[in-house]
Structure 1
């Protein structure tokens, strides 16, 4: 395969626009069609880039595309992924992979049965500080990992993110999975127990905007994640990815978006971040394309997406029961 033909399905999640730009920048990729239930979200792209718009995503899946990028609302990921797999298309699906364990397992199974690859969109693995942290851990710089404290705090996104029928949950569903995937990647051990606390503390909305998720791994490592939508409008950036990793012989602090200049200007009346690091979205898309063109396994598969998301689901259950959820098997 010399050219990868890609379709875009869903622009509900803002990452769709950066993924599209990343795809357009790769010479071996042709973005040949797109679909969104709200055409207004893609009208400018259709007009400026001349990419064909499809009124029905099934028509797009029926074309000769090789792969599809899905950035629809969380509750639609499963149906779209399964339909794409049955059409013989490889899939890159935005996080969280799904909103229930059963549907995520079905997504993984159907993709496997139809011989297509399913990749979960976890661009945080491509942040330069995270990549360097992974290298340091593998080199033994802090000995054996004992505990990880992580934060993925953000501003409240509004829109469909706070509609539980479309999102599957609030801040815990939205912000557990990125750091949880990094913990899984660093620790390389199965989660055995999850505890969660959830609350609506900052906004008048129908879903939780604050959450703390505690995990235990089979190898004894303890983890905790602050998943809240607690970042204020005055913050220089709307989100963060921060981890402190305690090892048997050292501590490693990771600021995923630490490659920034700080700008103070009276016109904005708040500090601004001018990010100069590599684009993790671009690097993730390039890796997805490289794997498919080389007919290799995608670097972050559906199982990775499932493993991170089931922790969020367990945190909800633990918060309801007021006791830890123990994973069996």
Structure 2
């Protein structure tokens, strides 16, 4: 790697991925890494400083000081804080990679994209499965026409409820439960295949799963989406992985076309067995998070486009908010007023 050192900050330790992103950035010789955790919840002693010490990132006390001294920032705050953190970073001239979902409202997502476009800055959303070799394979099959015209997509993103971060089940911070956490991973991948806006959404949710202690957000959900051109996607985005499972969960995508069908299981490269702690799972293969961070660093340097960009991010928020509305209405079909059909 060559060129001047890129100064990258990670903002907030609220999301569990923050530690991994810090480690991947620290592993690069062309990046100087800073970290700030301005909204430490107080129930975790010195969460930010401890994470900085463990990863070797330079500790910064507050957000303003961090943003004044970096070229790019990875935002890992609670979902409802994404808008404020991203807008502050863009105003400071920083390229941004923001944890998913991009925002908790469509208006906020649109404002973020407009601000990035106006400033000529990179705004990407943290969707590492775009880096999966399996996903790149199915995307190549779609783009080459091998599958014919895409008719339907079946997606699953099932995992454990992230109890170690209680804000995930507090709607004021998360914007929703399983729909906000897992639906958007699949909708982003589908957007990468279709590159077209959603038209209608229908969702059914419940709070049957993971109710010890009880939650006030949905823990299970099925969402059906109709896209421009008539493609239908159905996604199971439930927190349905039991605590006894050997791994957190997984993601599958089944793409059906007029000339063929292909299914991927993005996290299935593994060895499994039993040990003293019960079932064991050891993943191998390429590291999607490391590849995503590498793509963002290259995008911030102007070498490549960011893989999961703001347009796809806005569309996923449109689908998420429509799905939450549909679920609240008892499964009514909700029309999506797409903001990406015309210029933002």
**Normalised by the size of structure 2, how large is the TM-score?**
0.90
Q: 1:147 to 1:263 in 2, by over 3 A?
A: same
- Which among 301, 314, 333 is matched to residue 306 of structure 1? 314
- State whether residues 200 and 209 of structure 1, in contact with CA within 8 Å, keep that contact through their aligned partners in structure 2: yes
* Residues 3-51 of structure 1: per-residue CA shift (max 9 Å, x gap): 2101111111111111111111121111134334227223234335553
Equivalent residue number for residue 208 of structure 1: 218
Taking the TM superposition and a 5 Å limit, the aligned residue runs for 1:145-184 are 145-158=150-163, 159-184=166-191
Q: Which moved more, 1:197-206 or 1:129-138?
A: 129-138
Cross-structure match for 2:336: 327
- Give the structure 2 partner of residue 294 of structure 1: 302
CA contact under 8 A between 1:176 and 1:309: conserved in structure 2? Answer: no
* 1:131 and 2:136 matched: yes
**Closer, same or farther in 2 for the Cα pair 1:236/1:140, shift >3 Å?**
farther
Question: Which residue of 2 is the match for residue 119 of structure 1?
Answer: 124
Give the whole-Å Cα distance in 2 for the aligned partners of 1:242 and 1:257.
Answer: 8
Do the aligned partners of residues 50 and 151 (structure 1) sit closer, same or farther apart at CA in structure 2, a change above 3 Å counting? closer
For 1:223 and 1:139, how far apart are their aligned partners in 2? 21
Gap runs ≥5 in structure 2: 339-344
Task: Say if 1:49 and 1:181 are closer, same or farther in 2 by CA, change over 3 A.
Answer: closer
1:183-227 Cα distance to aligned partner (Å, 9 max, x none): 111123221111111110112211110111100111111100001
**CA gap 1:129/1:72 in 2 versus in 1, 3 angstroms:** same
**How far apart in 1 are the matches of 2:337 and 2:172?**
28
For residue 152 of structure 1, give the secondary structure of its aligned residue in structure 2.
strand
* Counterpart-to-counterpart distance in 1, 2:268 and 2:293: 22
Measure the CA separation in 2 of the matches of 1:136 and 1:296.
22
Question: Which of 52, 57, 65 is residue 51 of structure 1 equivalent to?
Answer: 57
Q: For residue 158 of structure 2, give the secondary structure of its aligned residue in structure 1.
A: coil
Residue of structure 2 in register with 1:24 after alignment: 26
Deviations 1:100-157 (A, max 9, x none): 0011111111222223221111111112211122122223332221111110011111
State which of 275, 278, 284 in structure 1 corresponds to 2:286: 278
Q: Secondary structure at the match of 2:138?
A: helix
Residue 86 of structure 2 aligns to a residue in which SS? Answer: helix
Contact 2:12 2:35 in 1 (8 A): no
Aligned residues: 326
Task: Give the corresponding residue for 2:198.
Answer: 191
Matches of 1:295 and 1:244 in 2, distance apart?
Answer: 32
Could you say which residue in structure 2 is the equivalent of 1:223? 233
The ranges of structure 1 where at least 4 consecutive aligned residues each deviate by more than 4 angstroms after the TM superposition are none
SS in structure 2 at match of 1:173: helix
C-alpha displacement of 1:249: 2.0
How far apart, in 1, do the equivalents of 2:242 and 2:147 lie? 34
* Contact 2:79–2:101 (CA under 8 A) maintained in structure 1: yes
Q: Secondary structure at the match of 2:167?
A: helix
- Choose the corresponding residue for 2:256, options 239, 246, 250: 246
1:292-319, Cα deviation, whole Å (9 max, x unpaired): 2235432322221111121011001112
Q: 1:51 to 1:328 in 2, by over 3 A?
A: closer
Deviates more, 1:187-196 or 1:167-176: 187-196
Conserved 8 A contact 1:12-1:73? yes
RMSD between superposed Cα atoms in Å: 1.6
- Unmatched 5+ stretches in structure 1: none
2:48 aligned with 1:42: yes
* TM-score, length of structure 1 as denominator length: 0.94
